[in-house]
Structure 1
């Protein structure tokens, strides 16, 4: 693999310079702000998986910053690699702590994400205009499926998941529009993918955190 091969995939980038994508680069600060805010909310609450999600959120921001400044193959990997662990840890957390599955069954349920993505990504690739964003489209669909299934168990959680899915759908839309609108809007729209994703990922951690607190409160009342 050519680790230092240049990648030019965004409207804002017009050269291989470090600061060729200033807006795309700087807006990654939104991930770090979101991670800091959520760290303050989950620290000292005995929520190890939430803390892992916060760390992964910060890594997503750092990796994306590296990609939009260096724009090389190795930086592209730093950009995308932390995203999958965030998805998998979140699924495992909901399976174990909300569905109350055993750790083994929660893990097996988490691994089903791979055949689910393999089956749905090709379908989303048929949608005109999605392009490379089709790889992300199965995620909001899965969140909406979880929201529907959890509606009777925890309607507040279900509503929060649905809100997160809608934010992500909007975010994917801005990502897909980046190159098509480039002629009319030279900055592109990819920076909105960063801002909305930072909001969405922080929101999803908050939804999980709040559900854990409600569960502990409910268990305390029953005790």
Structure 2
């Protein structure tokens, strides 16, 4: 659990402060969480008391804290603190999107979650390379957002598609972090944090507006 992990350009040692930009940029998630709390307090009582939306807001804070721990301690336990809240946010948001926005039956929502988990697990086994969970999340955002916008003319569709575009840019910064390391020693991973905070804020605000119980 304490094995050192070095997978980002900015980290050049094992010191606690070896990734200052990657660590400090996680404050963007905390800012997003604070803004979401402020927005939630302005909603009606049904939205404020909705445990699902409250969980999305709480996970935004946890993602910032977990990622901050990973980019400072950089060991296995902190990596788990990083990825678990992200995975929970993705799965919960996908479920809420399908259940509350697309309005699918419960069994279809759960089956879709199982299918996503199976895809993320099976692709590396079938093709011999690691397929990013984030690419699957991006595909899901484009699929749900596109369906809502073009097939249903649902106002949430446009918002999810905008978030998907921002997420695609964010994912590109994450992807090029190591390949550009020789020409850009500080890397690009911190842009991933900042843009993802924007994505989480927009997605959660969209669910507050269009997917909360009435």
Which bracket does the TM-score occupy, shorter chain normalised?
A: 0.7 to 0.9
Question: What TM-score do the two structures reach when normalised by structure 2?
Answer: 0.87
Deviation at 1:94, TM superposition (A): 1.4
CA 1:124–1:182 in structure 2 vs 1: closer, same or farther (change >3 Å)? farther
Q: Is the 8 A contact 1:121 1:137 kept in 2?
A: no
- Compute the RMSD of aligned alpha carbons: 2.3
Match of 2:200 in 1: 201
Whole-angstrom distance in 2 between the partners of 1:133 and 1:106: 23
Please say if residues 124 and 137 of structure 1, whose CA atoms lie closer than 8 Å, have aligned partners that are also in contact.
no
Which one scores higher on RCO, CA 8 angstroms, separation ≥ 6? 2
1:83 to 78, 83, 86: 86
5+ residue gaps, structure 1, are 127-131, 217-223
C-alpha separation in 1, matches of 2:108 and 2:173: 36
Aligned to 1:5: 3
| Greater Cα offset, 105-114 or 164-173 | 105-114
Instruction: Say if 2:120 and 2:132, in contact at 8 Å, map to a contact too.
Output: no
Is 1:136–1:172's contact at 8 Å kept on the other side of the alignment?
A: yes
The gaps in structure 2 that reach 5 residues or longer are: none
Answer with 23-32 or 142-151: which moved more: 142-151
SS at match of 2:203: helix
Instruction: Spell out, residue by residue over 1:171-214, the C-alpha distance to the aligned partner (whole angstroms, 9 max, x if none).
Output: 1100011111111111100000100111111111111112136x
Q: C-alpha separation between the residues in 2 aligned to 1:125 and 1:169?
A: 24
Indicate conservation of the 8 Å contact 2:173/2:189, yes or no: yes
SS across alignment from 2:132: helix
Q: Secondary structure at the match of 2:211?
A: helix
More displaced 10-residue stretch of structure 1: 40-49 or 56-65: 40-49
Deviation at 1:119, TM superposition (A): 5.7
1:29 matched residue in structure 2: 27
Taking structure 1 as the reference length, the TM-score comes to: 0.84
